[in-house]
Structure 1
């Protein structure tokens, strides 16, 4: 029985029919859904912050009442003022305690939420098809796990409380001013209303702009990861100046977008900030207040609370811009995190089976990325145990896609791929990767010790086994030159060159000891010295194993047991090197195209035939092992 694909994740914006009822309930927005585990604590923090904001206004009210009693027709004595002094001091203390408690509780809740989200993301990413990660790069994962979770930290631990404070305090302040002199209190609202109008103009189209902002940041993240991981290869060929071009384009694109956005909103946003600035509001209230006092519409003591609290009424508009941007950034981050958490995972088998042997069979295999255009179509192929099968063909013919099906980076759209008579979809992932290994051009090393990087496939391997595999991979001597040998942590003060990293990955594959191996041309970007060492390591790795090789240089697969030619996702030729040359088909044309630089024999091969290297020597090793 084939494994069933998982139920698709809920669409955050889609209505959901309640079970057992006739109505519908709307799935909560991503931001609210992600905050669910800590919503109660955040609500308490919001309540404490509201109390702190209200208590923070009380001292100003108390001071204005003291001024009124001191300047009245019958000035109050000291005993009558002490209650107001005590009220001011105690309210200030309450504001301090509640504000501190709110901030601490919000940060603790946010810390737990970050831990929960990163664990969920790690678990889910570990179950995604590997092809999704290799196709889209690691920038998407990096942004979700790092930048997006950090954006939620800013929102929940800081912005949320700031918004509560700037919205709560002005309400109490305005309520009190209305009891003192309602005409001047209404005047104090004018800057706020004008600021709202100007800011709404500045924020026109902000939702689309914030979406583009997030996308631009994501492009920078992807380009930065590619820049960091690919710099060694570019420098090996003396093209280091080109390694950063995509990163520069991404940053320049972001700068251009952001500059245009700022220019389009500069006048309105600046005016919105100026009209609610405390100095402007204070100047307005002072001028009108003086007019009111001179005309006996109010007393000087009644003007005091307006000078103290008036600027606070318009205060929200002074900080609303950055807070709205932080809220929108948090919402966009929540959407991206939710989309990644809802990405379809690799289906696990409902009836797991264990392969009987290592024979690989592909029957009627078709595959499409977008559901419309077939990248592979009707592929039939057999890989017998202990043989080397090479995939060749022009760029875009489907070689990498076909090879990626074997380690189940993707599942076939149609047809079957079996290992030992069992469909790959019925083999548990842990069992599959014990039997199928892969060595790719793009090597990924962990920020861990050299030994732990080699032990990735077998964490329980002994130090002797690790060293043996490193020697076979021709990387032992380089490791011993590192500051702490096999205990040296990679990625901090020590990094390996591209060829060294490739040999380390080969040592990792040797230790894992998978009987089936998918090999991308590991020497494609290596310098000559590294290429020779990698080829020796590959010969050790290939002995006695079943190999599926993606070949870019045909000279490296001349000795393969079978060469399969792919064109437009279909197998057009297959056979041995000499047979395919004799057929004068597509393979012969590719061979001739790669060898037109030198003189040729009458059969189309060069006078000085290149030595069998890489996977070619691997094929010879396998045959020798079989003969023995």
Structure 2
């Protein structure tokens, strides 16, 4: 049970694994010396022929052997720790590099919770595999051969019987491996599903409470936990059963070897001292394999975890071009642009044709699921597996480098993340070399500087998840951070969602101010926010069905006009109701 691909990654850990094997082998040599010395003492005392010098020599040998074994044990643990820590560090670094190459669109291929589980417990399960199992695997092959070379000189029949019985344990391990593989697959599938469900319910706890659906969510978690408990108990019972079988084989083989040794002594083929050596070392033939069996199940967990990790590392990466957008204003255009998500049966976007001129304020509107967010993902380079054409200036998206695209395009969404720390810490993410004056100017542009001045200025602390900021303040801070970039295109994806009307109006003023010098792409469910846009594209079922400015679309009396009028009536009704109350 050796993962060749994983072995190739052990460039820094190979030396430590080799040291583990050496320390175990040296400990075995010390054990052989100890047993030979003990047998010599026993034989001399039994036959009353012991000399003080020879007894002292034997006792000293035993003492040295014990000290050597203690030292080897400590050195083995030290090498084991570093072997495991090095591969864990290497794998985590490799996974982070893979995430960076996948880009922000990685969630199309794998859930975030699964990556989190692989980076934490998944890699931790490789600790036993790399730190214990691998060295034990090679030592379990080396130890019986070493014992055979030494003991065959004492008595060949006993040594041959013991050596022939040793392979029975790996045979048992292979049989168990075939039985356990499917169980472990089900175990990991259930494990990842439970983690996914738990985190989802935890994040949506407030919503569940609002709709009184928390009990149903609890029942779902309980049901999945029970399923996970059952498969876990099945894995544990299989491990216990296999341990019993391996013990029977190991100690049964040693018992057969001891019987042969006693038979040879009875037939006067070996001395009492040689018999004691053979009897005491008989179990040493099997203990390395038995220990390998003890690490086997944890090694299997590590193997399964590594399979998941390698599946992640083998995910298709978006092709990154090598061309850069010129440091000047550019037009964005598409022709017959079509996009289909992996494993989807229908395209999310079909035959999108549009042109966005520099310094225009553009809006994408339409019902949920119309394809607005998918179009944003394409425009920002998060998704690249498209058909048709999407150009930034004269350069096709597929030929553009992601770094160049990130430098020229900035996104502010309704879930823009604000980190724990100070206002300064969050702002300099966009421009590490920004001066305090630049940071203050950005905050003034979004009307946040007065708030900061009333606290501790740029050093004002932000709590975890911006708990000490209102929704509007959090969103304005995200916009201030975006303004510090040197981007030429700003995409506001539902940037006014889930905030109060006053904050919404303020943010829309900021967006309109940005549109005077930059290209602005606005995604909004509320059509009242897009009335001043130069061009509005109405999407439905992945297609642009209407386009034009606000007045043009109203005059067409189509889908846009119907949705706008419907929203206006609802807002008038809500306002009237609030005035009456």
TM-score band, normalised by shorter chain: 0.7 to 0.9
Asked if 1:77 is matched to 2:51, the reply is yes
Match of 1:544?
Answer: 514
Match of 2:300?
Answer: 328
Q: How does 1:265-284 map to 2 (within 5 A)?
A: 265=238, 268-269=241-242, 271-272=244-245, 275=248
- The 1:245–1:365 alpha-carbon spacing in structure 2 relative to 1, beyond 3 Å, is farther
Match of 1:407?
Answer: 380
- The 1:484–1:571 alpha-carbon spacing in structure 2 relative to 1, beyond 3 Å, is closer
* CA distance, structure 1, for counterparts of residue 357 and residue 577 of structure 2: 28
| Cα shift readout 1:321-360 (whole Å, capped 9, x = no counterpart) | 5522332333334344444444444434334341641432
| Unaligned residue ranges in structure 1 (runs of 5+) | 1-12, 14-27, 601-605, 611-628
Mapped contact 1:355–1:427 kept (Cα < 8 A): no
Offset at 1:586?
A: 3.0
Residue aligned with 1:94, SS: helix
* CA distance, structure 1, for counterparts of residue 176 and residue 256 of structure 2: 26
Match of 1:441?
Answer: 414
Asked if 1:361 is matched to 2:333, the reply is yes
* CA distance, structure 2, for counterparts of residue 243 and residue 505 of structure 1: 33
* CA distance, structure 2, for counterparts of residue 69 and residue 216 of structure 1: 62
Asked if 1:154 is matched to 2:124, the reply is no
Residue aligned with 2:514, SS: coil
* CA distance, structure 1, for counterparts of residue 156 and residue 472 of structure 2: 78
Mapped contact 2:265–2:272 kept (Cα < 8 A): no
Alpha-carbon RMSD: 4.6
Offset at 1:316?
A: 4.5
Residue aligned with 1:566, SS: strand
Offset at 1:144?
A: 4.3
| Cα shift readout 1:36-85 (whole Å, capped 9, x = no counterpart) | 3443453344333322344334323422332223223x532222223333
* CA distance, structure 2, for counterparts of residue 269 and residue 551 of structure 1: 60
Q: How does 1:477-492 map to 2 (within 5 A)?
A: 486=459, 488=461, 491=464
| Cα shift readout 1:91-134 (whole Å, capped 9, x = no counterpart) | 33333334433443454454444444433433332232321246
Mapped contact 1:376–1:569 kept (Cα < 8 A): yes
- The 1:594–1:586 alpha-carbon spacing in structure 2 relative to 1, beyond 3 Å, is same
Q: TM-score, normalised to structure 1's length?
A: 0.74
Residue aligned with 1:365, SS: strand
Asked if 1:575 is matched to 2:545, the reply is no
Match of 1:122?
Answer: 96
Give the paired residue count.
572
Mapped contact 2:108–2:342 kept (Cα < 8 A): no
452-461 or 164-173, which moves further after superposition? 164-173
- The 1:445–1:153 alpha-carbon spacing in structure 2 relative to 1, beyond 3 Å, is farther
Match of 1:60?
Answer: 35
Residue aligned with 1:573, SS: strand
Residue aligned with 1:456, SS: coil
| Cα shift readout 1:430-476 (whole Å, capped 9, x = no counterpart) | 33223211112333345655422222121111233334434544556
- The 1:598–1:107 alpha-carbon spacing in structure 2 relative to 1, beyond 3 Å, is closer
* CA distance, structure 1, for counterparts of residue 455 and residue 201 of structure 2: 25
Q: 1:90 aligns with which of 41, 61, 64?
A: 64
* CA distance, structure 1, for counterparts of residue 163 and residue 493 of structure 2: 69
401-410 or 44-53, which moves further after superposition? 44-53
- The 1:484–1:45 alpha-carbon spacing in structure 2 relative to 1, beyond 3 Å, is farther
- The 1:502–1:40 alpha-carbon spacing in structure 2 relative to 1, beyond 3 Å, is same
Offset at 1:207?
A: 2.6
Match of 2:356?
Answer: 383
* CA distance, structure 2, for counterparts of residue 357 and residue 219 of structure 1: 47
Q: How does 1:501-580 map to 2 (within 5 A)?
A: 501-512=474-485, 514-524=487-497, 526=498, 528=500, 532-533=502-503, 535-545=505-515, 546-580=519-553
Mapped contact 1:443–1:502 kept (Cα < 8 A): yes
Asked if 1:48 is matched to 2:20, the reply is no
